[in-house]
Structure 1
Amino acid sequence: MPTLPLTLAVITHNEADTIARCLDSVPFAAEKLVVDSGSDDDTVAIAQAHGARVVPQAWLGFGAQRNFATSQCRHDWILVLDADEYLTAELAAELQQRLPELMASATPAAYLRRSTIYMGAPMRWYRPAVGEQLARLYHRGRARWSDARVHESLRFDGIAPTLDAPFNHTNNPTLVHKQLKVLRYAELKCRDWLDKGKPVRMWQTPWVFALAFLKDYLFRLAFLDGWRGFMIAHTAASYAVYKRMRYYEMVNNPESVARAGAQLQAHGLDR
């Protein structure tokens, strides 16, 4: 298959189960780059076997890690995927057709639509999991990732087109994976709040769960996806509450930051 002057960039840590599918879904990329933060499984070997150049880099936080990956790419145009994401055949064909014109323009970036597979099946109605638009294709001279430890975003000026076909996200293969991710993401978010000196507003907490749950379950149509939708809405609401409780603890018991970090590190989550 003809290649295009594009780098596929993936950041990894222990992604042996999914990295091959991710890399193989972008056969037209002239370069495949994996930035690995100390995997102790077969991630690196599998990535190399599937055509990727692997660069080791200790964990910097999501935003900084993506910016580091950007600096290591050999091409100005970059497609970013997570290891548990992969292009559909329809999106791969659309990209091959539209990329030459896009690359020749002054466009800073493009949005891709993400479809989520949850508990082994695609979500059908829950709005953030059906056609969620994410800026994942960009020119590195015209866009940059925010420096957030978690929930980073691509920053750029100008208008960005949206491609039609989706890419797939195999979101958390089990509820255990999801709960561990919640702990990790909450810790990273709270550290960002701590750095910025965000005020503690525990008085909001009694209302947060109900409002967050209703937002996802009713207004984002999770209820139409049955019990899987209920679980997604419940997990999101629990995450919203836990972040506030954990931040309260960080502010009122500063030594908990290091102690929790050590506990998360012991389970491979402090990265």
Structure 2
Amino acid sequence: MEITGIIIAKNEAKYITKAIESLLSVCERVIVVDSGSDDGTHKLAEQAGASVVFHEWEGFKGQRRFADTVVETDWVLVLDADERLSAGLASAILKLKEKPDTSEIHAYSLQRNLHFMGKCFRNNFLTCERKVRLYNRNFASWTGGSVHENLTVDGKIQKISKAIDHYPYQNMEDASEKLRHYAFMKASDKFEAGKTAGFWKTVLNIKYNFIKKYLFQFRFLKGTPGLILSWLETDYTAIKYMKLYELNHSDKDKEKNNDAE
């Protein structure tokens, strides 16, 4: 099994080198699909040993699809620039490469641990987040919206128990800015899909999200960082549904104005 590592990037100079080094520990080649960085990402990526290909930004799904077209190997391993393979995961993938290729298995799903304010937030049996990141591109296709792209696999997906280490936020300000940006994008996706948000739906989703994050994911055991992260992610949920509500009603206002004319 030969693997090509893929990273979608724009202005990721702070993270790109470590992400590439992580992939090169298990991949024969790493390709960075850059959509116009101006912070030195391109140069740092090449210095770290990756090939860099420019592709105009067309959403996460579009970038993923393009990346699969420039890969020469059947197998692809995808990381975001702010992610790393844990030592255990790298070891597990190297062991897979030593085995004969199994035609029945077309992808592998991985766990992901989030790191924030010096704490590692691991998944548990109630909230296990798995991502298909290692896959045979001949049996997979990218779908989804502008924020959360999904990989649809035609065939068997096997689980790997080891995890990706995710470092999405440098600090509270960075977390708040990114989450609010994603909230507006996700609201637009929901609006285009015909989703609506009313008062009770918004309130219940906000309350449920905090309970799920803080209690069910045991973040209360992480002290203040656990509370802060849960609150920031609940803010994301609140903004997402409030923006969706605004889009719903601005659309209705347009219809009323058109009817009046």
TM-score range relative to shorter protein: 0.7 to 0.9
SS of 2:186's partner is helix
Amino acid at match of 1:57: H
What does 1:48-197 align with in structure 2 at a 5 Å threshold?
A: 48-101=46-99, 103-123=101-121, 127=124, 132-197=129-194
Cα distance between partner residues in 1 of 2:196 and 2:53: 39
| Structure 1 equivalent of residue 12 of structure 2 | 15
Please state how far the C-alpha of 1:100 moved relative to its aligned partner: 4.2
Native 8 Å contact 1:145 1:153 kept in 2: yes
1:200–1:247 Cα contact (<8 Å) kept: yes
* Preserved CA contact (<8 Å) 2:119 2:225: no
Unpaired segments of 5 or more residues in structure 1? 255-271
CA contact (8 A) 1:20 1:46 kept: yes
SS at match of 2:105: coil
Q: CA deviation at 1:140?
A: 0.6
SS in 2 for 1:171: coil
- Could you tell me the TM-score, scaled by structure 2's length? 0.88
Q: Where in structure 1 do 4 or more consecutive aligned residues deviate above 6 Å?
A: none
Is residue 2:242 matched to residue 1:227? no
Rate the CA distance shift 1:206–1:97 in 2: closer, same or farther, 3 A: closer
TM-score (norm 1): 0.85
Q: Which amino acid aligns with 2:92?
A: E
Contact 1:120 1:173 in 2 (8 A): no
RMSD over equivalenced CA pairs, Å: 2.2
Larger Rg: 2
Percent identity for Structure 1 against Structure 2: 34
Aligned mate of 1:243, from 208, 219, 240: 240
- Matched positions, count: 250
